[in-house]
């Protein structure tokens, strides 16, 4: 294989360290990942934090005091989860790596980003980082097409990706391209079903393809052979080893 996809740690190296923590991001780097994927939400006092679920207790059902992140200050959140990373913490830990920042803003979630302020704050922080010499590179993604449409309008220099689930690439790719987004981020099953012809057709529209979440070595090799550009995985070392075989 003359060209391999980039490999990103899904919420960091989340098979070896608590997901979306500085430890997980550091471990992804140690394992040779080219970057990380992470999730962005905002606390009650306006701090961008890195967490997948809208409720803090979603990380661990046994946590006491967990609740909606939007209703808790950073200090309150860290009283429950001391290792909760701010987005600034995460960007520091990922300096020099590719970061795919998924802004969690689905309209039906409790912390829906109705006014776009979480997305804009995320973009402002990325712009500040990319202005520095070692700022790294970034993609902003969301399952909500309206959110990345806002991102493209607000900060057109920052790459945007549309996350899709159980949607054929033949449907998602033309729509992403029509909205001017350079990345299509399908789930692993949809990307495998697309095959080399579907990935090639997506590339022909001017899009790159970033696939989540790829943990099986055989899937990683098949997707690499199809020509995808990024594999997002909980086990970057396993995927990198598979790609080297």
82 occurs within a structural domain: no
92 occurs within a structural domain: no
- What is the domain range of residue 215? 6-39+97-244
Contact present, 51 and 84 (Cβ < 8 Å)? yes
73 occurs within a structural domain: no
At residue 136, the pLDDT reads 73
Give the chain's end-to-end CA distance (angstroms, integer). 9
Please write the tens of the pLDDT for every residue from 127-137: 999 876 565 79
198 occurs within a structural domain: yes
* Neighbour-count burial of 84, counting CB atoms closer than 10 A to its CB (0-12 exposed, 13-18 middle, 19+ buried): buried
Residue 80's Cα: distance from chain center in Å? 24
> Which contacts (CB < 8 Å, 24+ apart) does range 103-106 have?
103/40, 103/140, 103/141, 103/142, 103/147, 103/151, 104/39, 104/40, 104/41, 104/52, 104/54, 104/142, 105/142, 105/144, 105/147, 106/143, 106/144
Please write the tens of the pLDDT for every residue from 24-70: 999 999 999 999 999 999 999 999 999 999 998 655 555 555 679 99
Please write the tens of the pLDDT for every residue from 191-208: 999 999 999 999 999 999
59 occurs within a structural domain: no
Please write the tens of the pLDDT for every residue from 94-130: 999 999 999 999 999 999 999 999 999 999 999 999 8
CATH number at residue 175: 3.20.20.190
What is the reported pTM?
0.95
Query: Cα(210)–Cα(85) distance, rounded to whole angstroms?
Result: 24
54 occurs within a structural domain: no
107 occurs within a structural domain: yes
Number of domains in the chain: 1
Dihedral of the CA atoms 8, 14, 17, 22 (nearest 10)? Answer: 50
Query: Cα(97)–Cα(94) distance, rounded to whole angstroms?
Result: 5
104 occurs within a structural domain: yes
Please write the tens of the pLDDT for every residue from 135-178: 579 999 999 999 999 999 999 999 999 999 999 999 999 999 99
- Residue 139, strand partner residues: 100, 159
For the chain, give the number of residues: 245
Query: Cα(4)–Cα(211) distance, rounded to whole angstroms?
Result: 13
Half-sphere exposure of 227 (CA within 13 A, CB side): 13
């Amino acid at each position: 294989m003359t060209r391999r996809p980039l490999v990103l740690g899904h919420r960091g190296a989340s098979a070896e360290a608590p997901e979306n923590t500085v430890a997980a991001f550091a471990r992804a780097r140690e394992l040779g990942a080219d970057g990380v994927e992470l999730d962005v939400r905002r606390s009650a006092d306006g701090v961008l934090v890195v967490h997948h679920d809208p409720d803090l207790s979603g990380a661990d059902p046994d946590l006491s005091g967990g609740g909606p992140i939007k209703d808790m200050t950073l200090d309150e959140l860290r009283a429950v989860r001391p290792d909760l990373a701010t987005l600034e913490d995460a960007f520091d830990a990922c300096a020099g790596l590719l970061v795919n920042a998924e802004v969690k803003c689905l309209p039906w979630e409790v912390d829906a980003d109705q006014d776009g302020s979480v997305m804009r704050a995320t973009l402002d922080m990325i712009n500040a980082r990319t202005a520095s010499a070692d700022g790294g590179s970034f993609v902003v993604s969301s399952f909500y097409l309206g959110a990345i449409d806002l991102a493209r309008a607000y900060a057109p220099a920052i790459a945007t990706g549309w996350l899709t689930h159980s949607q054929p690439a033949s449907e998602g790719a033309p729509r992403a391209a029509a909205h001017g987004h350079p990345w299509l981020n399908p789930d692993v099953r949809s990307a495998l079903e697309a095959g080399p012809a579907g990935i090639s057709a997506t590339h022909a529209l001017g899009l790159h393809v970033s696939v989540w979440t790829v943990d099986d070595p055989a899937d990683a090799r098949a997707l690499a052979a199809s020509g995808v550009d990024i594999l997002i995985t909980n086990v970057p070392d396993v995927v990198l080893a598979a790609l080297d075989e």
